[in-house]
Amino acid sequence: QQQVKQSPQSLIVQKGGIPIINCAYENTAFDYFPWYQQFPGKGPALLIAIRPDVSEKKEGRFTISFNKSAKQFSLHIMDSQPGDSATYFCAASKNTDKLIFGTGTRLQVFP
């Protein structure tokens, strides 16, 4: 079953734009929400992660917003660059256990 739903499937923005990728989860026991970035031919790389005790986390140009009551979290990429073009995956897990991944969002940033 799809426990983590990710949208949109693909996203095209101009350089400097702020793409937003959304994820929704079902299991209220989830307590860890990471985002991974994957370039073609490479393995996913951990980008940023959040725990449910905070509503926002920033690392450089990347921000996670977390809404516990709505069971949603999102990734914002500030001042996006062509080098940010990649596929992004959200995920969730409980008790440090197995990660459940979303289906991915392909982001293209044009100059």
Partner 1 sequence: DAGITQSPRHKVTETGTPVTLRCHQTENHRYMYWYRQDPGHGLRLIHYSYGVKDTDKGEVSDGYSVSRSKTEDFLLTLESATSSQTSVYFCAIRDGRRTYEQYFGPGTRLTVT
CA 52 – CA 14 distance, rounded (Å): 31
Nearest CB to partner 1, comparing residues 62 and 101: 101
Angle at Cα 59 formed by Cα 109 and Cα 37, nearest 5°? 45
CA 98 – CA 39 distance, rounded (Å): 23
Nearest CB to partner 1, comparing residues 4 and 109: 4
Cβ–Cβ under 8 Å, residues 28 and 71: yes
Angle at Cα 46 formed by Cα 4 and Cα 82, nearest 5°? 95
Our finding on whether 104 is near partner 1 (CB under 8 A) is yes
Q: Among 44, 66, 74, 84, which residue interacts with partner 1 (rule: CB under 8 A)?
A: 44
* Interface of this chain with partner 1, residues 24 to 43, rule: CB under 8 A: 32, 34, 36, 41-43
CB of 30 to partner 1, least distance (A): 12
- For partner 1, the binding residues (CB under 8 A) are 6, 32, 34, 36, 41-46, 49, 89, 91, 93, 96, 98-104
